[in-house]
Structure 1
Amino acid sequence: MRPEVQAALENALGQRVKSASPMRGGDVSDAFDVRLAGGDRAFVKTRADLPALAFEREAEGLLWLAEASAVRIPRVLAFSKTEPGFLALEHIEAAAPSTAAEERLGRELAALHRFGAPRFGLSTSNFLATLPQENGERADWASFYRMRRLDPLLERARARGLVSRGLSSRFERLYERLPDLVGPAEAPARLHGDLWGGNWLADRAGVPYLIDPAVYAGHREIDLAMMRLFGGFGRRVFAAYEEAYPLSPGASERVELYQLYPLLAHAVMFGSGYIGQIESALSAYV
């Protein structure tokens, strides 16, 4: 851990850091298992080239999810509003998730989505991994999905030279059909926003936790579509969710539509290797 981060952490927590051991699994940030002089333990994440605002927004997102009292969220211990950026959370001793933990995750994710929010979007912007995520609120989901999700990332991908004229044309045709494709109208769901398999864990008692969110209010199927994109969720998660909060008709036909956002994000972050998947997803609609 960088000395300036340790000093800021000690100041925020009011305790001396006894040790800070690097942890595996930090895909975006550097992660540490921190032991404090008072006997407490914390999980701390930081990254030198990520602004402190990213950690502040993540802390706010965790608190926003916790408001629903649905799925367990790690307790926020401290975060920085000025450089150096860091976020300190309660330490969760993770264990291999059982079938019961997966079923509980499905039910509790359904409860989180049901808790909802007043409008599509969020009052503040935040970050999807390292990418700025604009959440300006909209009254309808189709326009939000186009203007706040697909369009900004398509422009970033275009600036990186990843979008051909043909691919751009296909997105324009998709936009024409979008109001008819997004599914039956639903109230805004309270979303995790970056729900791949690495962003949940179960503790030793089998209690599931959500971590590393990119929150906003949106269509609940976008969380579920991302869960199917990269794996990490057993069949019982989806079955328990469906039992608790049945999906609208045609949901299986919208999976690829809602995978376009994370696929575009991965293309912007990691390059052209994801363009083929984007084109394949589009083929279901245009």
Structure 2
Amino acid sequence: MNQFIEKALHQAGDNSAMKQIKRVAGGSINESYFVETDVQQYFIKHHADAPNRFFELEAKGLELIRETNSIAVPEVFTYSDARQNAFLVMEWVDGVPSADTDWKLGDRIAAMHQTFGEKHGFSDDTFIGTLPQSNGLFASWHEYYRDRRLAAQLRLGIDRGRITGKRRNRMELLIENLGKWVPDDAEPSYLHGDLWGGNWLSGPHGEPYVIDPSFLYGDRHFELAFTEVFGGFSSEFYRAYQERFPLSPDYEAIKPLYQLYYLLVHLNMFGESYGRSVDTILKRYVG
């Protein structure tokens, strides 16, 4: 372990003595470590079998979010996607939530969403977890969401035997009629892309940070809908968001359609425990 960490630190330009190395929680995908040297405290992620460009794209997403000057992200010192030795070296972020951390989080996310790209999607194919996401840039949000998100998960679900029978029929009907509900003219906000409760944390002075993005440009309501799937966001978060950037009156009507994508991802990754939630949404829209 020390040899791998020494190599990562050397690439980051830190050749000082290591004072402490500790394995820490960092999700189910990567090995994660707290490392302290004479110079800096680091968070280092390691993946022995990372897909091509896995950490490059994470670093790129963090930098794009940083450029909005809206919400804090960890500084990335270096990364490698070398086969059997992929790693990402970032600053260690540590803090205790303050009384207004949740409010700040909602306000900062809304500010990020007030930064816009020219088109929907992304120039690079990305990942959600380790599941590939095909992207591309689209003038139409409806077309991007239909073709690169829902239709892609439908094909994967068919291949894996997770979407069959009535579920497949309903999915195909929903995709065919998606334009009834999903707008063409949504503004392409900067989106984190994987904003669940485990992908933000409190830093110094209670300042919220976001981590582990799966970046794209798209309808901000898509991002907000996902925050409600697994929880982790308080009422203060939503009040602050609404105060800075009020949601569309149509949000509640479209929210399940946006949650559907993430539930399909979990269905295809983890299995039938997510099937009932998928079926409930499909029945709501296509009967």
- Give TM-score scaled by structure 2 length: 0.94
Aligned residue-pair number: 283
- Deviation string 1:162-217 (CA, Å, 9 cap, x unpaired) is 11121111112212321120147321010000000000011241100000000010
Deviation, structure 1 residue 32: 0.6
Equivalent position amino acid for 1:88 in 2: V
Does the residue aligned with 2:190 lie in a helix, a strand or coil? strand
Matches within 5 A, 1:232-271: 232-271=232-271
Equivalent position amino acid for 2:181 in 1: L
Q: Is the 8 A contact 2:186 2:218 kept in 1?
A: no
Query: In structure 1, how many angstroms separate the alpha carbons of the residues matched to 2:47 and 2:104?
Result: 32
Name the CA shift for 1:171/1:100 in 2 (closer, same or farther; >3 Å). Answer: same
Q: Is the 8 A contact 2:119 2:138 kept in 1?
A: yes
For residue 71 of structure 1, what is the aligned residue in structure 2?
71
- Structure 2 residue runs of 5 or longer lacking an equivalent are none
Query: In structure 1, how many angstroms separate the alpha carbons of the residues matched to 2:111 and 2:224?
Result: 14
My pick for the range that moved more, 77-86 or 235-244, is: 77-86
Equivalent position amino acid for 1:142 in 2: H
For residue 187 of structure 2, what is the aligned residue in structure 1?
187
- Deviation string 1:205-249 (CA, Å, 9 cap, x unpaired) is 110000000001011111111100001000111111111101112
Q: Is the 8 A contact 1:183 1:251 kept in 2?
A: no
Does the residue aligned with 1:49 lie in a helix, a strand or coil? coil
Equivalent position amino acid for 2:11 in 1: A
Poorly superposed stretches of 4+, deviation over 3 Å: none
1:30 matched to 2:31: yes
1:6 matched to 2:11: no
- Structure 1 residue runs of 5 or longer lacking an equivalent are none
Does the residue aligned with 2:35 lie in a helix, a strand or coil? strand
Deviation, structure 1 residue 11: 2.6
For residue 14 of structure 2, what is the aligned residue in structure 1?
15
Query: In structure 1, how many angstroms separate the alpha carbons of the residues matched to 2:233 and 2:52?
Result: 31
Deviation, structure 1 residue 46: 1.3
Name the CA shift for 1:104/1:130 in 2 (closer, same or farther; >3 Å). Answer: same
Query: In structure 2, how many angstroms separate the alpha carbons of the residues matched to 1:247 and 1:271?
Result: 32
Query: In structure 2, how many angstroms separate the alpha carbons of the residues matched to 1:149 and 1:254?
Result: 15
Equivalent position amino acid for 1:281 in 2: I
- Give TM-score scaled by structure 1 length: 0.94
Query: In structure 2, how many angstroms separate the alpha carbons of the residues matched to 1:159 and 1:184?
Result: 29
Q: RMSD of the alignment, in Å?
A: 1.6
Query: In structure 2, how many angstroms separate the alpha carbons of the residues matched to 1:8 and 1:157?
Result: 40
Equivalent position amino acid for 2:189 in 1: A
Matches within 5 A, 1:14-163: 14-16=13-15, 18=18, 19-36=20-37, 38-51=38-51, 53-83=53-83, 84-95=85-96, 97-163=97-163
Q: Is the 8 A contact 1:183 1:250 kept in 2?
A: no
Q: Is the 8 A contact 1:46 1:86 kept in 2?
A: yes
